Structure 1
Amino acid sequence: MSEAVILSPDADKKADFPGLLTPEGAPWHYLDTAATAQKPQAVIDAISRALGKDYATVHRGVYARSAQMTQGYEAARDRVARFMGAKSADEIVFVRGATEAINLVAATWGMTRLSAGDRIVLSVLEHHSNIVPWQMVAERTGAQIDVCPLTDDGRIDLGALEALIGPRTRLVSLAHVSNVLGSVLDARKAADLAHSVGAKIMLDGCQAAPRMILDMAALDCDFYAFSGHKIYGPTGIGVLWAREELLESMPPWQGGGAMIDKVSFQGTTYAPPPQRFEAGTPMITEAIALHAAIDYVDALGPDRLFAHEAELARKLREELRRTNAVTLFGPEESAGIVSFALEGVHPHDLGTILDEENVAIRAGHHCAQPLMEHLGVPATARASFGLYSDENDIAALMRGIERTRRIFG
């Protein structure tokens, strides 16, 4: 096969990721990065130090190590703000993941701003995490959900979105990049459409953050969420960005320590954002490891990562198209994600056989059952690339597919 995009001419990025080897030391062809990314040694080292010799609580201790840990925790917030092009670190709320971020907005902004007859616009390709929270809000407030269709090649149809929104539209919530199809939303155009009718827009950035330059001012969105584990960081931490004036207007998400100004049995006053939304002892070590992950990604350049993974996706589609028994889904140009079906083989069976070949893919509905219904399949096989992926991974996948065809032939 021809040479793929080179991220770094002086280093093999696979060598930075100890998880890309089997217990026997053989290469593990990991093609499930859209679900969760492998971790570079720099992130592993950062969380190990934070859990070990550097460990202490934050915000409360008067002793030196606590002060140092507090400085490290808030430095992570500052780093995320710079990475996202936020106006201020006060616009960054640490949460457990994008799921919690969307639920936070739904339960605070949504429950206080939406009422009977208001409209929430989602799209066919949304992850369940960007569907179910809004259904829960709609049930409680009387708001209604409108669903934006897709173009023939699997992109959110912005022409249809323009026709769908209206004066009762209060919120548009869309995936910046589809976790199944890899299709990329023209996020600024979507934001302009939402704002044209006075609606707010939220973007699910889980698949965009690891491979695209983020600039909240340029996107002109109102809420943005992503998960740390998809951007080569740890699980258990994610980010909600929101405009400062919106956060200031939103009630607390949970009650407890750290999110208060003063507590008495006569009443409680709350801390300003972002502390208002971070009740309890926060994800200290995870934030510090997320800082390391963002440093790692930023040093490589998200635009280069996008080009690298998109080129691998293009090459994989080219290889799969040579196999007559394969159906491809989604656009030709995708952000490093390829979903497909192998004729006569359930995706779970394919995934099991590939695992025997040290190839890891995702098989199932990918938490996007409405999209599966739209595609007319119960499930797909999904190969998703990361910064460590290369053409050897494609070759291993294709060998596994050929073996599967022989078994089921």
Structure 2
Amino acid sequence: MKGFFKKISLFLLLLFFAVQAKAQFEGLSISPEAKISLITCSSGDDLYAVFGHSAVRVQDPSLGMDVIFNYGTFDFNEPNFYLKFARGKLNYKLSAAHFQDFVYSYAQDNRSVFEQELNLTPEQKQKYWLFLTNNYLPANRFYLYDFFFDNCATRIRDGLEATFPDQIKYNLDYLDKNYSFRNLIDLYLPPQPWGDFGIDLALGARIDREATPYEYMFLPDYLSEGFENATITQNGQAVQLTGKQVPVFVQEPPTEQPFSLFTPTILCWILFIVAAVVTFLNFKKGSRSRTFDFILFFAAGLLGIVMLLLWFATDHQATAYNFNLLWAIPTHVVVAFLLGKKVLPTWVRKYMAITGLVTGILTISWWLIPQEPHAAFIPLGLTLFLRAEYIAWFEKKKELVTAKA
């Protein structure tokens, strides 16, 4: 609770300074001594902060100005905020605040802040300043956020390229590691096992295509690296766009996280062991655990409904073509209620046999599908396969006994 109030107070502080900064830009030109820099912030503890952050600093000592332009903010007062966020229709915006307050907020969260000054001529600085301040106008500051293709990092890259068309060249061949978008975000997710699990469940095959080195720059760290290995044309000559990172604030070493058994993969393996024991006992007793089956298949079906809604009821491009729907089948929600009954209709037995077989085949041959699964899917798929096929076998056996009688 203390951390929550700290984040709210820092947000309100930055909001206050953003309002104060608004009137400062009207008709303002920066001096030749002004400095414009790329700011890169390190990962945070929360899932939304784990990928880092990018912003632009404009510092002009002659004007007494030191302001940060930040594309990673949104308005909590926007109507239907949470519904728009869930549906991928939430507008993010470019905000401006005093740089020291920006750094203070990241220092409070123990997140490092690094700076790379852009190597621009006075004329280029003024031109990019005009781009930023024009982008900051109320009519221009809002944009429809996309995590992979239109975010706080790509907005800076694309804005600089729009200001200086065909003048910026990247040397990114060394970054070509055949990473997919999923591989790239997985680099940041070891401290967030449940976040990793949720992302792999929710995001479909679109993020499993190989990303180009240029596309790596949707991540702040790769944007910083890309700028360091880029050139900009000045007077017909290509010069280095930025230098190396200079620390503004360096975080204290994070405390080592203790090993935890409470991870999706371990818990799913425990679930499989429980399912195997339940199935063995059912087999020995000639029975079926209806409550266990109801909970298992209802949960799988509920997950499937969420995935289906993320695919078809939202504007999130990354949630489309989600092959997890081959095991998290939405119709399981309806069938789960029938599984709670003592006598099952014949069609339910056939349904379980078919869906169980599909899940089993999927579990052992996922590599044939263009979507990388989470490691927890293996025990999860085995659990669903085992119980589905046991239900089908048990009900078939009951039918044969009844027919003989």
User: Does the alignment reach a TM-score above 0.5?
Assistant: no
| Structure of higher RCO (CA pairs closer than 8 Å, 6+ residues apart) | 1
Return the TM-score normalized by structure 1.
0.29
Bigger Rg over Cα: 2
